[in-house]
Amino acid sequence: MEHRRLGKNGVWVSPLCLGTMNFGWHTSEKDSHALMDQALDLGINFIDTADVYGWSLARGATEEIIGRWLAQGGRRDSVVLATKVYNLMTRPGSKPEPNRDKRCLSALKIIRHCEDSLRRLQTDVIDIYQMHHVDRDCPWEEIWQAMDTLRTQGKIIYVASSNFAGWDIAQANEIAKQRFLLPLVSEQSIYHLDNRMVELEVIPACRSYGMGLIPWSPLGGGLLGGALKKRAEGRRASEEFEKNVDKKREKLAAFEGLCAELGEEPANVALAWLLHNPVVTAPIIGPRTAEQLSGALRATELKLDEATLQRLDAIFPGPGGEAPKAYAW
């Protein structure tokens, strides 16, 4: 597997990022450990998680699963580990605390939650510490002061964003420059063939600042993973998902027909489409089986020609390019 830099930054990561949102929630700890072992064997060195993952099982449970995997030894130096801060971390039966149980990016929360993540992950340092969402009520000076404190202490290396607007990225990076700090290294946004809104301003902002884009939900929650074919085979999903499939049946039929012509799995075509964009560093994949994980590697080898890219644009038209040309002269 050919690794790449995260945007213009020096760190090297795999072109696929192993997402862990299902660990402990839908995937057992044993299977989660096996998937991480397999990912390393395949050359995937980029692992993404969040303090809040674990959800109804227990917020923080996913980090604990990863921590027990790292504690087995011989793995930490092989992994670029990313986690997040912003969401509330209420656990069942715990007494509510305003600085833990609010969605925010206060300096107090950032530093306390980083310490908690380090403990759960059983590591001394978080490689990429991501703000899970923007907090427009908290001054950037406070946020960067907290991040700089953690970097100075050697507890984090890089700072990144997730779910930021283009102007949030610009504001954060300009204030970091004023403070002579390394600015954001990456943005993690929803991005897939059927949701291309980040092409308006987020992707241009990332390109301008040399940030890597880490698309989450690259298959549209399974929509681009052969949903019609799976339905024809008798597999069913949630009622909401099935309604979405019905709503987008025409597009999906055209997409899956194109993939059949190419002789490729729809999921791999959808991932390869993302990877053709030079701003994209690594889509986040969330495999539940060893077969799904190994199969995703095909996307890193698949090169889509211009005619195929144009057909995909016709099926899933984006917002019309970058702002302001997408909507103005």
Which ranges constitute the DSSP H helices of the chain? 29-42, 61-70, 107-121, 140-152, 166-178, 202-209, 227-232, 239-247, 249-262, 266-275, 290-296, 298-301, 306-315
pLDDT at 138: 97
How far is C-alpha 300 from the chain's CA centre?
17
Domain ranges of the chain: 4-221+268-304
Range among 93-97, 151-155, 224-228 rated most confident: 151-155
Strands 186-190 and 156-162, sheet pairing:
parallel
**Model confidence pLDDT, tens digit, residues 142-194:** 999 999 999 999 999 999 999 999 999 999 999 999 999 999 999 999 999 99
- The dotted CATH code for 4-221+268-304 is 3.20.20.100
d(CA 39, CA 3): 13
Residue 100 — pLDDT band, cuts 50, 70, 90? confident
What is the pLDDT at residue 151?
Answer: 98
pLDDT band at residue 25 under the 50/70/90 scheme: confident
Residue keyed to tokens 């107090």: 108
| Catalytic, out of 53, 86, 158, 191 | 53
The reported pTM is: 0.95
236-284: per-residue pLDDT in tens?
A: 778 888 899 999 999 999 999 999 999 999 999 999 999 999 999 999 9
Per-residue model confidence as pLDDT tens digits over 109-131: 999 999 999 999 999 999 999 99
C-alpha atoms less than 13 angstroms from C-alpha of 49 in its C-beta half-sphere: 32
Active site residue 129: no
Give the pLDDT mean for 18-46.
96
